[in-house]
Amino acid sequence: MPQITVRDIEGHEELREVPEGTTAGEVFTDRSVVVARVDGQLRDLAYIVSGGEVLEPVPVDTEDGRAVLRHSTAHVLAQAVQQIFPEAKLGIGPPIKDGFYYDFDVERPFTPEDLAALEKRMQDIIKSGQRFHRRVVSEDEARAELSHEPYKLELIGLKGGSAEDMGDVMEVGGAELTIYDNLDGKTGERAWCDLCRGPHVPTTRVIPAFKLMRSAAAYWRGSEKNPMLQRIYGTAWESRDALKAHLAFLEEAEKRDHRRLGSELDLFSFPEEIGSGLAVFHPKGGVIRREMEHYSRLRHEEAGYEFVNTPHLTKGQLYEISGHLDWYAEGMYPPMELDAEYGPDGELKKAGQKYYMKPMNCPMHNLIFGARGRSYRELPLRLFEFGTVYRYEKSGVVHGLTRARGFTQDDAHIYCTQEQMADELDSLLTFVLDLLRDYGLDDFYLELSTKDPVKFVGSDDVWEKATETLREAAERQKLELVLDPGGAAFYGPKISVQARDAIGRTWQMSTIQVDFNLPERFGLEYTAADGSRQRPVMIHRALFGSIERFFAVLLEHYAGAFPAWLAPVQVMGIPITDGHVEYLQDVAAQLRAHGIRVEVDTSDDRMQKKIRNAQKQKVPFMLIAGDDDVAAGAVSFRYRDGSQNNGVPVAEAIAEIRDAVDRRVQV
């Protein structure tokens, strides 16, 4: 009788003797367990123990459990697709964050009606209680069986070739080729099959809740050289309630969409006449942006940064020196050609100059560094600029303020000695995180991108040293540190700060990047204490990334309800009747004298309507005044959450508001 170790979710282990032929499913009889982890590997519940293994249950409401559930649901989708569209060829169908997809090669793209029909067919399949049955096949068998599935054949071929980078492909990722058969719950007849490494849930009956979300096109195996397949995205959850919660989350995210809030709150727009991806900020958006920049400037000044300004346009020569024209040209606006002279017959008399909109600020900052001889005494030299750059984003990726074609980086370049690098990176990371916290983000993790073994410049030991320095600085922050091996740009390692917003989404915010390339290309030097010429270390860092993007992140994080210090209108005065307007205007004047942005609603709406309007504009403080308040020299607060504080003396009210603004707290 085989002996196995059973480890429960809490980690308690129990040695157990089981009859020959016992399956994982017989060990874990709880219906919420969808697969088992056997010696660390996820296995079907049909797995037969041989003795000596450690078995753990994987319930459906865990990350692994959901992934299996979603993967199995993807199979159900594929089966439904091939039932309704028999000519459809299968691509791949993995689980992803919050769901799954499956790619198909079909005659025509799927329509919303198709999705509805597919969803219905999937319900039928699920109800019929098909069993997922794993079957090991030889490569030849697989080829024979899947001869009508060209993409699957390609995957089989890939497995034969280089198996290393196939880790994400569920189809052929395992040690052996396997096919999963879907067997009818009653008759045991094979209804469908798919090349797949598994594992899968035992039967379709344990798929409690799913929904098809949308269809879209995707290149086969992610390359634009390959044919376009039609992808269907879906989601699946351990319970109807979990699905409902997920859909509610999506709805909430949609309500917070910065593009929507941007026009509802009259903050910015993208006039068609200007061009795709180029925003204009309206007065209210302008206030928020000004406050964001203002506070950032103050903090940078305190931290020893010096402010520079550079033009938006430059001759191509600069980007030849920097190398951007070699490796970044397709991200740049095409050049304009100036100063060419032609003779009367149109022949070229004088060659023109190409000018480019700048896609990055660093080359210009390097010119400032190189404008005169630099001493080690000046280092670290920290040059800061709100530098507007223009990048020619492909039309399909432009997305509101988060992916624009013109945007302003809060860009700084720090030039320091090798010896200063460690301290500089350390204090820099602290500075960055502190500042982000002041803007109201407080949940972070760090990501360290290390050398791509193929594409890099500079020597191994310099990389090694810089990477270690970054790692040490990151670890000192006591934050979660995620490694991104090989993810660095060719010119140096980087740390990025990822922030989680109010509804748990993560955004890449700041990046701190060491650069071994540009100081070399620009021939940057400083004179060291011993009189020798040395090359400085260059660190790029942007805190917001771009102000527009950070603006969008904060807008979504706060759902438009900015803390008072950022709110475009901090106080709205609301008179009970026209007779109280004058009194409120006097209060407003006093607030203004204290630097508060205040308006009085003098429209002829009723007071309730004015409250509703101010509420919809997400004004932090409403000051209401009627006869009682006037008599008492007071105002009545209404806050954004609907609570009230009536009859507050004007001086106290001003102090309260001023205090909330000064402390930059959310109210």
Which residues make up the interface to RNA (CB under 7 A)?
Answer: 109, 214, 216-219, 222-224, 228, 230-231, 259, 263, 270, 272, 275-277, 331, 391, 393-400, 402-405, 407, 489, 508, 511, 542, 545-546, 548-549, 576-579, 603-609, 611-612, 615-616, 622, 624-629, 636, 638, 642, 644, 646-647
**Residue 46 vs 574, nearer CB to RNA:** 574
Smallest gap from Cβ 173 to RNA, in A, equals: 17
Smallest gap from Cβ 37 to RNA, in A, equals: 28
φ, ψ at 376 (rounded to 5°) = -60, -25
Smallest gap from Cβ 622 to RNA, in A, equals: 6
**Residue 33 vs 574, nearer CB to RNA:** 574
Residue among 173, 185, 201, 196 at smallest CA distance from 91: 196
Smallest gap from Cβ 77 to RNA, in A, equals: 15
Q: How far apart are CA 401 and CA 534, in angstroms?
A: 41
- Lookup: tokens for 304: 């020893």
**Helix, coil or strand: residue 426:** helix
Sign of CA dihedral 199, 204, 208, 211: positive
Report, as residue numbers or ranges, the catalytic residues: 362, 391, 409, 411, 413, 494, 540
φ, ψ at 70 (rounded to 5°) = -70, -40
**Residue 388 vs 477, nearer CB to RNA:** 388
**Side-chain-side CA neighbours of residue 227 (13 Å):** 12
**Helix, coil or strand: residue 464:** helix
Q: What is the DSSP string of 97-139?
A: TTEEEEEEE-SS---HHHHHHHHHHHHHHHHTTPEEEEEE--H
Give the burial class of 664: count Cβ atoms within 10 A of its Cβ; 0-12 exposed, 13-18 middle, 19 or more buried.
middle
**Residue 22 vs 546, nearer CB to RNA:** 546
**Residue 42 vs 212, nearer CB to RNA:** 212
**Residue 218 vs 481, nearer CB to RNA:** 218
Task: State how beta strands 89-90 and 54-59 pair.
Answer: unpaired
Smallest gap from Cβ 596 to RNA, in A, equals: 19
For residues 355 and 315, the answer to whether their CB atoms sit within 8 Å is yes
Residue among 92, 45, 42 at smallest CA distance from 62: 42
Distances in Å between the Cα of 561 and the Cα atoms of 252, 256, 474, 526 are: 14, 10, 32, 48
Task: State how beta strands 190-195 and 209-219 pair.
Answer: unpaired
**Residue 382 vs 580, nearer CB to RNA:** 580
For residues 384 and 301, the answer to whether their CB atoms sit within 8 Å is no
Angle, in degrees to the nearest 10, between helices 547-557 and 283-302: 110
Residue among 65, 61, 78 at smallest CA distance from 243: 61
Neighbours of 411 (CB within 10 A): 26
**Residue 338 vs 482, nearer CB to RNA:** 482
Q: How far apart are CA 45 and CA 65, in angstroms?
A: 12
Smallest gap from Cβ 196 to RNA, in A, equals: 20
Give the burial class of 343: count Cβ atoms within 10 A of its Cβ; 0-12 exposed, 13-18 middle, 19 or more buried.
exposed
DSSP single-letter state for residue 252? H
Smallest gap from Cβ 468 to RNA, in A, equals: 22
- Lookup: tokens for 655: 């102090």
**Residue 171 vs 548, nearer CB to RNA:** 548
φ, ψ at 445 (rounded to 5°) = -140, 160
Smallest gap from Cβ 114 to RNA, in A, equals: 10
Q: How far apart are CA 165 and CA 123, in angstroms?
A: 35
Smallest gap from Cβ 507 to RNA, in A, equals: 8
Task: State how beta strands 89-90 and 99-105 pair.
Answer: antiparallel
- Rg, the chain, Cα only: 31
Neighbours of 156 (CB within 10 A): 20
**Residue 291 vs 548, nearer CB to RNA:** 548
Smallest gap from Cβ 327 to RNA, in A, equals: 9
- Lookup: tokens for 461: 């030991």
